[in-house]
Amino acid sequence: MSGDLHYEPREERVYVHLEIDGIMVVPCAITMEDVEYPFSCESDEVFSFLKEKGDDIHECKGDVVELLPVIFQLILMEVPLKCVKEGLKEYPKGDGWEVVKEEDYVKEAKDEIDPRLAKLREFKIDE
């Protein structure tokens, strides 16, 4: 993590440019095993020592610029919704259940006949 900080005395604001990169450990969406996920983000933040309204301005408490909550929020924004372990060869299965690929499920569902309509296969149209 690195960054630059600039204090503007006339405006009583602090301008911060943050560059955050690292590796987070998240669970695999299929096997729930730990997966290392690299991330990187940049952000420009504004901190004000005056009470100002605005979505992009963080209010300072006293004479302290608290970067940690902003850094934590930026890292949370980088957490993936779904992460699958690279090189996954075998999907997990157990007693009466198994995880299948979506392509395999669609192919199997396409070939399967609805049991309510199975009798119609025996029906023959005479010309």
> With contact defined as beta carbons under 8 Å apart, do 83 and 35 qualify?
yes
The confidence score (pLDDT) of residue 112 equals 75
Question: Mean of the pLDDT values across residues 11-38?
Answer: 93
d(CA 46, CA 60): 10
Q: Quick check: 38 pLDDT over 90?
A: yes
| Per-residue pLDDT band at 73 (split at 50, 70, 90) | very high
Global pTM value: 0.69
> With contact defined as beta carbons under 8 Å apart, do 23 and 38 qualify?
yes
Q: Quick check: 96 pLDDT over 70?
A: yes
Residue 70 backbone phi and psi in degrees, to 5: -70, -45
Q: Where is pLDDT greater, at 77 or 108? A: 77
Among 94, 85, 75, which residue's Cα sits nearest to residue 34? 85
Question: Mean of the pLDDT values across residues 52-56?
Answer: 78
* Single-letter amino acid code for the residue at 63: D
Number of neighbours of residue 95 by Cβ within 10 angstroms: 5
The confidence score (pLDDT) of residue 127 equals 62
